[in-house]
Copies of this chain bind each other. A is one copy, B any other.
Amino acid sequence: MVKRVAIIGSGNWGSAIARNIGYSTLQHKDTFVSEVKMWVYEEIINGEKLSEIINSRHENIKYLPGKKLPENIVAVTDLVETCKDADYLIFVVPHQFVTGLCNQLKGKIKLTAQGVSMIKGLALNDGSKNGIHLITDEIKSILNIRCSVLMGANLAHEVAEDQFCEATIGYNGSDIEEEIVLKKLFHRDSFRITVVKDANTVELCGALKNVVAVAAGISDGLGYGDNTKAAIIRLGLMEITKFVEKFFPPSNLRTFFQSCGVADLVTTCYGGRNRKLGMAFAKSDKDIKTLEKEVLNGQSAQGVCTAEEVATMLKNTNSQNEFPLFMGVDKVCRREIKPEDLIEHLKNHPEHD
């Protein structure tokens, strides 16, 4: 049976991956239905509906201008219509929308459907457990489906230009056929997939690296050089590793060597929104909201809220001292400590004992 794929989301990253998925489904007609519905949150662009622009001109002129989408990608504004007969639901929306979207889909999708989350964030519990859980757990629990993740060093516009890159799929199932299908859906000549059976680690790498990127930006903003930044990236990686091993075991150390791990971390710490915000923050005394408006055109930097969520969990479990970088980023973002103090705290990192 050929599988039907639906994409939930059509922003920058959603449109870039839709391009890849469109080509993959065309290439593997024995495995996938070629038509891929993509849920679009309707917007009016210069008097035209975004969904109609995509379906007539095959280009998302707002979020991925200049890049043609294959014609088998069909924009749909009705979420249930997009997803109801899909075998694969690809989630690629800002993380604050996941719960609402899943609630709309509840009971209206195939029982055998499975999800793939491309969302780099965490979900905050409403006081119930230690503080946080995974976005995929949110999806799984509301929709009662399996859910894999895809993470990696994947700046959307470079993916859309078919520049060579890698990504990691975290798949915890035991069905080898299913694993092959999943890889086939994303793997292309210039977009190379490795599948690992360590989905929690893959997902957490994607979320936590944004906190480290804020710290790297702070270091850049303070005028520190390459050595200090390297130390911050490495200490950040050690905290990511420790956090996953402590709160979401079991975890395979080799997963941190995948694209979702070191590669995404490095890319984000040298480019990306979170680094940019950290840098601006260290150079001024403005608050996060103001700087998001000024330097990110109002987009939010995920790392700041992820740091807050992580700090909550660390406080609840009395683990603050083990994670001076994570805690420091949260404190700096609240202006409880000076940016310079973050660097001072790292000089006494437990890693050096």
Which residues of A line the B interface, CB within 8 A?
A: 153-155, 158-159, 161, 163-166, 187, 189-190, 192-194, 224-231, 233-235, 237-238, 241, 253-254, 256-259, 262-264, 266-267, 270-271, 343, 346-347, 349, 351-352
Q: Offer 10 A-B interface pairs, CB within 8 angstroms, sorted by A.
A: A158-B226, A164-B227, A164-B346, A165-B228, A166-B235, A192-B231, A193-B352, A233-B263, A234-B258, A253-B254
**Interface of chain A, helix or strand or loop or mixed?**
helix
A238 touches B257 (CB 8 A): yes
A270 touches B226 (CB 8 A): yes
B225 touches A163 (CB 8 A): yes
B352 touches A231 (CB 8 A): no
Distance A229 CA – B263 CA, assembled complex (angstroms): 9
When the two chains form the complex, which single residue of B256, B266, B343, B351 contacts A194, counting CB atoms closer than 8 Å? B351
Distance A189 CA – B345 CA, assembled complex (angstroms): 11
Least distance between A127 CB and chain B CB atoms (Å) = 34
A165 touches B270 (CB 8 A): no
B-side contacts of A190, CB under 8 Å: 347
B-side contacts of A352, CB under 8 Å: 166, 187, 192-194
A266 touches B263 (CB 8 A): no
When the two chains form the complex, which single residue of B166, B193, B227, B241 contacts A163, counting CB atoms closer than 8 Å? B227
A263 touches B193 (CB 8 A): no
Q: Among A166, A189, A224, A270, which residue has the most Cβ atoms of chain B within 10 A?
A: A166
B-side contacts of A225, CB under 8 Å: 155, 158, 161, 163
B234 touches A166 (CB 8 A): yes
Count of identical protomers in the assembly: 2
A153 touches B266 (CB 8 A): no
Least distance between A172 CB and chain B CB atoms (Å) = 20
B-side contacts of A349, CB under 8 Å: 192
When the two chains form the complex, which single residue of B235, B271, B343 contacts A226, counting CB atoms closer than 8 Å? B271
B-side contacts of A228, CB under 8 Å: 158, 163-165
When the two chains form the complex, which single residue of B159, B227, B237, B263 contacts A158, counting CB atoms closer than 8 Å? B227
A237 touches B253 (CB 8 A): no
Residue of B nearest to A165 (CB): B227
B267 touches A270 (CB 8 A): no
Distance A263 CA – B228 CA, assembled complex (angstroms): 10
B262 touches A227 (CB 8 A): no
Least distance between A162 CB and chain B CB atoms (Å) = 10
Q: A155-B227, A187-B352 known; 5 other A-B pairs, CB under 8 Å? A: A158-B228, A166-B234, A192-B352, A226-B270, A237-B257
B-side contacts of A159, CB under 8 Å: 227
Distance A154 CA – B231 CA, assembled complex (angstroms): 10
Knowing A189-B347, A253-B254, A271-B226, the reply to whether A165 touches B231 (Cβ < 8 A) is yes
Q: Among A155, A163, A264, A352, which residue has the most Cβ atoms of chain B within 10 A?
A: A163
Residue of B nearest to A223 (CB): B163
Least distance between A128 CB and chain B CB atoms (Å) = 33
Distance A163 CA – B222 CA, assembled complex (angstroms): 11
Distance A226 CA – B267 CA, assembled complex (angstroms): 6
